[in-house]
A and B are shown apart, each in its own frame.
Chain A
Amino acid sequence: MTETTTSGASERPDAPPPGDEPDRADRAAADDADLRESLADLSRLATGRLDLRAMLTHVAEFAVRAIPGADGAGLTLLENDRADTIVASADFVREVDAVQYGIGEGPCITAAAERRTVRSAHLGRDPSWPRFGPRVSRLGVHSVVSLPLLAGDGVLGAMNVYARTEDAFDARAVELGELFAVPAAISVQNAQALAQAQRLATQLQSALTHRAAIDQALGILMSRSGCSPAEAFDKLRVMSQTQNRKASAVAQQLLDEAVARARARHSAD
């Protein structure tokens, strides 16, 4: 269960002033429409074969649309409890997050560490982050909502939504942000798992390509001396030690020279 921390000197009352009901209803309807549209975008997110960073950036952009009052948003994914992948919908968000992770203090770090939504209406005067608040306030950023991205018992990271005005996010904005954060976390974790699978496949393919050169060089040594694969490998290791070069480099040279000879023979023919 998330809690909402509201910090700052003055709170915007969530009850509308008398006579404002129609405006408020219109605004709520517009907010709901924005949220629906952003959720729909979220579900169509990966149509363009996005990589993980691009996909996260889109989630941040959709969050700006879904959460009323937002000027920019960023996502931070954690790896071993440390900020790993950080993306932003706008340059000013990148600046703010650079301050946050530079000094190791801020709303995103709190939201992820304590698994709860964090809100601040006046960052410059917020005692929660005495170093972070004044610095980002000088950058012209005054309000924030940070939402943890939860997956089961774990925390994937957090989403930061910033505004330049003071007191930009009311309880409704927080509620919409929390609604948005649930499917966002699912999309993020699916994308993260797929990106890891792609990375593994690429690494595996690269390892096999490197091994292919070594095995082909072993074949060359076997052809020349009639030795077994294991004996050829021993020969390659001795050559590597004698030449003080990596076995893979020695193997590649053996292969390149043999291929060059084969091509030269073809040219002569």
Chain B
Amino acid sequence: MDISGSLAAELKTLTDALGRPSTDLTDSVRKLADGLRFAVPSWLGLTLTLVLNGLPLALTVLDDGMTPRRIATSAAMPLTPVHGAEHGSSIVFYAGTSGAFVDFAADAAYALGLELDDVALDQHLTPASRTSGVTGLADIAGLNQAIGILVDHGHTPDEAQAELRRLARHARTSLSATAQLVIHSASQHSRPGAL
């Protein structure tokens, strides 16, 4: 599978963050795509969503730009039991032939220790993104930078997260928007000499 453009750049950024020479996320995505094409010949793509600190990161891999129009079936399953990922983490597979995931979904349910009802067939026929790429990275980065700011102000990381949630609830806004407010505020109230 050809992995290029923004997806390649985003996967390289994440691979660099891992700091393990033996792990290349681009290679892992390519192997997964090839494996799925073997298992389900009409496979067209997938969206892997991980929820971290309440914010989703979605990796979408699509065969090509025409994929969204060609999707005829999907299989979605939660990742929570396997990875300790937060509620809402999931993987959705897309294919172009109706019924293509019936056997695969049954195997997947058994393999992941899920009930068959946990595997949703044909309920996600529109991918999270129309093109391959990673969404949500900027929001997660902003949230962590805001946590860092609050940690520097004397909060532990857990307290910092709780404080951001409290502020978001109080202002009736999103966690991401609250994080951006904290970042903006820090840029106006620097503490020169502290470093």
Contacts and interface: CB of A to CB of B under 8 A. Distances in A.
B14 A218 contact: no
Interface string A214-234: 111111111111111100100
A211 B186 contact: no
A182 to B, nearest CB: 13
Interface string A46-62: 11111000010000000
B38 A246 contact: no
B95 interface: no
Contacts of B187: 222, 226-228
A200 B25 CA distance: 7
Contacts of A156: 38
Interface in A184-234: 186-187, 189-194, 196-212, 214-229, 232
Contacts of A262: 151, 154-156, 159
Contact of A205 (B38, B46, B52, B188): B52
A226 B190 contact: yes
Contacts of A45: 110
Ranked 9 nearest A-B pairs via Cβ: A219-B148, A226-B190, A215-B144, A216-B148, A46-B110, A223-B152, A219-B145, A46-B111, A193-B35
5 contacts: A194-B108, A194-B111, A204-B50, A216-B147, A222-B145
Contacts of B18: 203, 206-207, 210
Interface residues of A, number: 64
B144 A212 contact: yes
A259 interface: yes
A248 B17 contact: yes
B151 A208 contact: no
B100 interface: no
Interface in A226-265: 226-229, 232, 246, 248, 255, 258-259, 261-263, 265
B19 interface: yes
B111 A50 contact: yes
Contacts of A200: 25, 28-29, 32, 48, 59
Main secondary structure of the interface of B (DSSP, over half): helix
Interface in B72-129: 79, 82-83, 85, 89, 91, 103-104, 107-108, 110-113
A205 B41 CA distance: 28
A151 B151 CA distance: 53
A206 B148 CA distance: 19
A250 B71 CA distance: 46
A154 interface: yes
A248 B39 CA distance: 38
Given A191-B107, A222-B186, A197 B148 contact: no
Contacts of A217: 148
A44 interface: yes
B148 A222 contact: yes
Contacts of B23: 203
Given A49-B112, A207-B17, A221-B195, 12 more contacts: A49-B113, A192-B35, A201-B82, A205-B52, A215-B145, A216-B147, A216-B148, A219-B144, A219-B147, A222-B186, A229-B141, A255-B151
Nearest to B53: A212
Interface of A: 44-50, 55, 151-152, 154, 156, 186-187, 189-194, 196-212, 214-229, 232, 246, 248, 255, 258-259, 261-263, 265-266
B137 to A, nearest CB: 8
Given A196-B32, A222-B186, A255-B148, A190 B107 contact: yes
B132 to A, nearest CB: 14
Contacts of A229: 141, 145, 183
Given A50-B111, A193-B36, A225-B190, A201 B79 contact: yes
